Amino acid sequence: MLTDAVMLQFAGAVARWFEFAGIAAIVVGSLVALAKAAQTLLGRREAGPDGRPREFIAAFRRTLGRSILTGLELLVAADIIRTVAVEPTLQSVLVLGLIVLIRTFLSISLQVEIEGRWPWQHAGGKEQSRP
C-alpha cells in the first residue's frame, strides 16, 4: 500500500529526473550545435540544399535555442511536480509562479530569435484571419 511518505518520495524522485532531463537536453543540444558549427566551419558543409553557403551562426543559434527551449520546458515540469506534490505551500506556489513567468518570457524570447516571428503568428509572418 502506498503511504503519503512513499508518494512524496516518488514525486521528489520524478521531479529530480525531469530536472536531470532538462539539464541533459540543454547540454546535449549545446554539444550538437557546437559539432554542427564546427563541421560547417571545417568546410564539410559548404552549401545548403539551395546551393547557397549556409549561415552557420544562424544554424548554431537555432539548434542551441531549441535545446534550451526543450530544457526549460522539462525544468518547468519538474518545478510543477515539486510544488504540487512535494511542497504545496503558498510560498512555493508563488515561487513557482515567478519561475514559470521568467521561463515563459525566456521561451518566447528564444522562439522569436529562432523563428523570427511571434509564437502566435503563422510561418508566413501574417496572422490568420478568419472569415
Q: Residue 23: its pLDDT value, please?
A: 96
- Give the predicted TM-score (pTM) of the model: 0.71
In a domain, 61, yes or no: yes
Q: Would the pLDDT of 57 be above 80?
A: no
Q: Is 123 a member of any domain?
A: no
Domain count, the chain: 1
* Banded pLDDT at 29 (limits 50, 70, 90): very high
The type of residue at 44 is: R
Residue 37 has a pLDDT of 83
Has residue 56 got a pLDDT over 50? yes
> Is 126 within the bounds of a domain?
no
Q: Which domain covers residue 29, as residue numbers?
A: 4-115
Res 28: pLDDT: 96
Angstrom distances, CA of residue 10 to CA of 2, 4, 78, 89: 10, 10, 13, 19
Domain assignment of residue 127, yes or no = no
Look at residue 130 and tell me if it is in a domain: no
Residue 115: its pLDDT value, please? 77
Q: Tell me, yes or no, whether 71 lies in a domain.
A: yes
What secondary structure letter does DSSP report for 82? I
CB atoms within 10 A of CB 50: 6
For residue 85, tell me if it sits in a domain: yes
Q: Which grid coordinates belong to 56?
A: 552557420
All residues at 6 or more sequence positions from 57 whose CB lies less than 8 Å from its CB, including other chains = 37
Supply the pLDDT for residue 27. 97
N-terminal to C-terminal alpha carbon distance within the chain: 56
Question: What is the structure's pLDDT at 44?
Answer: 58
Which residue did the predictor score with more confidence, 38 or 128?
A: 38
Position 36 scores a pLDDT of 86
* pLDDT, tens digit (0-9, with 9 covering 90-100), for 77-125: 998 888 888 777 888 888 888 888 888 888 788 878 777 777 777 766 4
Contact between residue 98 and residue 92 where contact means Cβ atoms under 8 Å apart: no
- Is 90 a domain residue? yes
pLDDT digits (tens, 9 = 90+) for 31-49: 999 998 888 777 755 555 5
